[in-house]
Amino acid sequence: MAWLAKAAPYLQAGGSVMSVISNEQGASSNARQLRYQAGQTRATSQRAAAEERRRARLLDSRARAVAAKSGAGVSDPSVVNLRGDISAEGEYRALTRMYEGETEAGSMEAQASEVKRAARGKSIATILDAASTFASKYG
Euclidean distance between CA atoms 118 and 43, whole angstroms: 28
Mean pLDDT, residues 106-127 taken together: 89
What's the CA gap between 93 and 14, in Å, rounded? 56
Q: Which is nearest to 23 in space by CA: 132, 124, 128?
A: 124
Q: How confident is the model at residue 120 (pLDDT cuts 50, 70, 90)?
A: confident
Q: How confident is the model at residue 34 (pLDDT cuts 50, 70, 90)?
A: very high
pTM > 0.85: yes or no: no
Instruction: Pinpoint the alpha helices (H) of 1-139.
Output: 2-70, 77-138
**Is 26 or 86 the better-scoring residue by pLDDT?**
86
pLDDT at 5 over 90: no
Q: What is the mean pLDDT of the chain?
A: 87
d(CA 38, CA 77): 44
